[in-house]
């Protein structure tokens, strides 16, 4: 289902014109309007899901399969040196458009894109505690 006030629903379903590099029954892949690097693209499901928490499991599987296919294709075409797959959920995580999407970001040696975090230095005890909390038995 499309959501009325969602820009990505409109772009994914051809209501608004945009730069489409791939389309199938479930997804449209478009160029990001404000690319981090040359070729930065977005995988958009045609159905509306706010984020990964809402995402249908089958669509989740298909999305990653498509990311793999496009990473190979785009790297081949662009001759990039690396590739980031980025997927933000929630404002705190940097999500600005609340329709699930995956960023495909080609990387070039010495490019100015930033997909980084400051590495923490937790004590071993701390890691053991969080591991116990998160472990799925
Ligand atoms: P987020 O921060 O939610 O993970 O990423 C949203 C991305 O969508 C940003 O990289 C932004 O540049 C891109 N974007 C936002 N509005 C539009 C639009 O109307 N068209 C296209 N092609 N990209 C958009
Ligand atoms: Zn939407």
Going from N- to C-terminal start, the domains of the chain cover 7-134
Q: Which residues are catalytic?
A: 101
Give this prediction's pTM.
0.97
**Which is nearest to 88 in space by CA: 130, 46, 117?**
117
How far apart are alpha carbons 52 and 60 in whole angstroms?
8
Collect residues with CB below 5 Å from ion ligand 2.
3, 6, 8-9, 48, 99
CA pseudo-torsion sign 68, 72, 78, 79: positive
What is the pLDDT confidence band of residue 133, given thresholds at 50, 70 and 90?
very high
pLDDT in tens, 76-94: 999 999 999 999 999 999 9
Taking residues 30-42, report their average pLDDT: 98
Task: Give the model confidence (pLDDT) of 38-61 as tens digits.
Answer: 999 999 999 999 999 999 999 999
What are the φ/ψ torsions at residue 13 (nearest 5 degrees)? -110, 15
Protein residues with CB under 6 Å of any ligand 1 atom: 7, 11, 18, 30-34, 88, 94-97
CATH architecture of 7-134: 2-Layer Sandwich (3.30)
pLDDT on residue 1: 85
């Amino acid at each position: 289902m499309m959501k009325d006030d969602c820009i990505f629903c409109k772009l994914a379903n051809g209501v608004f014109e945009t730069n489409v590099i791939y389309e199938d029954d479930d997804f449209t892949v478009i160029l990001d309007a404000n690319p981090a690097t040359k070729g930065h693209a977005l995988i958009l499901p045609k159905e509306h899901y706010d984020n990964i928490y809402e995402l249908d499991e089958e669509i989740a599987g298909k999305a990653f399969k498509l990311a793999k296919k496009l990473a190979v294709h785009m790297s081949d075409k662009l001759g990039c040196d690396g590739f980031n797959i980025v997927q933000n959920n929630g404002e705190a995580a940097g999500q600005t458009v609340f329709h699930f999407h995956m960023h495909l970001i080609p990387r070039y040696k010495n490019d100015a894109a930033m997909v980084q975090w400051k590495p923490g230095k937790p004590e071993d005890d701390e890691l053991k505690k969080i591991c116990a909390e998160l472990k799925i038995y």
